[in-house]
Amino acid sequence: MALATRMAFGHELIEIAKTREDFVVCNADTKTCGLEKFGEYFPGREFSFGIAEQNLVGGAAGLAACGNKVFIATFAVFASMRACEQVRTFVCYPNLNVTVIGTHAGLQVGGDGATHAAIEDVAIMRSFPNMTVVQPADAVAARAIAHAAVDFKGPLYVRLHRNPVADIYDPETYHFEWGKANTVADYGSDMTMIVSGILLKKALDAAAILKDQGVGVRVLDMVTIKPLDKEAVIKAAKDTGAIMTIEDHTIFGGLGSAVAEVVVQNCPVPMEIVGIQDRFGESGDPELLYRDHGMDVDSIVKKTKALVGKRLCKLKMK
Amino acid sequence: MSRFHFTQTDVQRLESQAQQLRRDIVSMIYAAKAGHPGGSLSAVEMITALYFHVMNIDPSNPDWLERDRFVLSKGHACPALYAALARRGYFDPALLNTLRQYKSILQGHPDMNKVPGLDMSTGSLGNGLSIGLGMALSAKLHRQNYTTYVMLGDGEIQEGMVWEAAMAANHHDLKNLIAIVDCNGVQINGWTNDIMTLEPIADKWKAFGWAVVEVNGHNMKDVLTALHTAGTMRKPTVILMRTVKGKGVSFMEDESKWHGAAPSEEELVKALSEINMGGVV
């Protein structure tokens, strides 16, 4: 199966709404994740705010202040920046029960280019007190998060991608737990890749290639970016002596920074932060963009070998 | 009896209550050595009318789901709201003098999770009408009869988001949403119309599909009548209340420097003396 995480999440929420009446949806006029049709399926439970994201978030906060569980859906760029202050001051500060669904994350947006590709939304959202940040790697995880989000209390940011990605997880066995990393592959103790979001597939492909070349790495899926699974990060540092983070987000302030904050304060080891370099996105095939930013499988393989080299160098110095 | 009905005795009681709020406002800002007296004093009659007569609320049950809601979008005027909540019985009036102090429930701008009876955290201008819109949508969703009141400053409506909310209230046909603009004509650096032209304010709201009620915001009888009129309109309604910034304290009136400044001890004494002597216009 290949489905975009945004569509998996939105469709699952519609499925859940058939048996759960305890949440509402607020939409700006965007095609995000299928929730545009929520009002057609569940009249009265969806509110249209038009092309007005600040009012969208403010209205959602008012609904939540009256005890409603509210889902709002828009592009991640608009949720995190056009309505940044509304999310911060009127959702996070009063600690209201609003789930912000940010779609079209990262370079995977492709053709729409820099204006529509959210490359800094994780950095922004995770800096707000009370905010929880999650990012599924595939449709299976996205569906599981949809269920968890309905029962979640408080401000939540769900980061979703535009284009279809192959399933990684088996829906029969996948289990989502808030704040817990999943170990997805364990080929040895030369290094740990900590990944959040759809680049997990590239990490797994790279790990398989590295295994054949005699480099054994572990791969963790950090589905919850905040609160971060600190134990898993410290364990990775202690067990494998080097960490590479991989994310479809700027190298500043996202997963890489979150992991580095834990590593430097607990168990300093060499790190490599794989992500979008210090420049805006642009139009083009996402795979070409990923290669350009050193986020493709070949680059991950090369960077892993270099990092493992640094790790060995450090071990010798001891 | 309708909560909009009032007698001359009610008017006198409310006028007297308003003067109490004025005393509280200048006293707590003096104690805090900071705060916003001008926009608090201009809002006093309306806040008094709402909290001591019109709003359907229960101080013994602040989280009652069907209560009327009040959002102070011009959150810097919170001394007026804190005084009203305290005097209405939501918390001990002795706490008013802890305004802006470390660990006080009375933050410099209102925090709904700290103050009993406070319906929404506010402070950043231009946001409150959207919050009120959401509250009014919730009433519609759950078929509840409460009314949501949102008080904005006149300078505040320079924020574009106010007009996003105004457009949406009309779209969603929210008769249960009442906006109140405290038109005191002064913002932090001077007269509103020198900084950014607001007039014709009424025409702007009408163009967005709102009913408009204009009133002298310092005449209690007229304020009560305006709230009654607004409650009977078949569309979202804005009350444009013409007020004087710093109303009731001569040296603060119409002076932008009293937008955000605390009185000295001497000024406090003078202010309290004027408030005690003064009636309302």
Contact A66 B133 (CB under 8 A): no
- A52 CB within 8 Å of a chain B CB: yes
pLDDT of residue B1: 46
pLDDT of residue B281: 40
Task: Identify the residue among A90, A91, A92, A93 best suited for mutation to test binding to B, counting B beta carbons within 10 A and taking the highest.
Answer: A90
Residue A313, pLDDT > 90, answer: no
Write the pLDDT tens digit of every residue in A128-145. Answer: 999 999 999 999 999 999
Residue B123, pLDDT > 50, answer: yes
Instruction: Report the pLDDT averaged over residues A72-93.
Output: 98
Instruction: Report the pLDDT averaged over residues A209-231.
Output: 98
Q: pLDDT confidence of B279, banded at 50, 70, 90?
A: low
pLDDT of residue A318: 59
Which residues in A lie closer than 8 A to residue B135 (C-beta atoms)? 62-63, 65-66
Instruction: Report the pLDDT averaged over residues B105-125.
Output: 98
CA A251, A252, A258, A262 dihedral sign is positive
Residue B280, pLDDT > 60, answer: no
Residue B119, pLDDT > 70, answer: yes
Interface predicted TM-score of the whole assembly (ipTM), two decimals: 0.95
pLDDT of residue A1: 79
- A86 CB within 8 Å of a chain B CB: yes
Which residues in A lie closer than 8 A to residue B118 (C-beta atoms)? none
Residue A206, pLDDT > 90, answer: yes
Catalytic residue among A12, A36, A46, A53: A53
pLDDT of residue B278: 75
Residue A212, pLDDT > 60, answer: yes
Of B121, B138, B171, the CB nearest to A93: B121
Least Cα distance to A105 among A145, A74, A138, A77 occurs for A77
Which residues in B lie closer than 8 A to residue A49 (C-beta atoms)? 164, 168
| Residue B237, helix vs strand vs coil | strand
Contact B112 A86 (CB under 8 A): no
User: Which residues 281-310 on chain A approach chain B with CB closer than 8 angstroms?
Assistant: none
Least Cα separation, residue B111 to chain A (angstroms): 7
Which residues in A lie closer than 8 A to residue B136 (C-beta atoms)? 62
Which residues in B lie closer than 8 A to residue A52 (C-beta atoms)? 161, 164, 167-168
Contact B138 A61 (CB under 8 A): no
Least Cα separation, residue B60 to chain A (angstroms): 18
Q: pLDDT confidence of B4, banded at 50, 70, 90?
A: confident
Least Cα separation, residue A44 to chain B (angstroms): 7
Write the pLDDT tens digit of every residue in A235-245. Answer: 999 999 999 99
pLDDT of residue A317: 66
* Helix boundaries (H) for B43-175: 44-49, 78-87, 128-141, 161-171
Distances (CA, A) of B146 to A25, A55, B127, B139: 22, 21, 21, 7
Residue A276, pLDDT > 50, answer: yes
Write the pLDDT tens digit of every residue in B56-110. Answer: 999 999 999 999 999 999 999 999 999 999 999 999 999 999 999 999 999 999 9
Of A45, A50, A58, the CB nearest to B134: A58
A53 is catalytic: yes
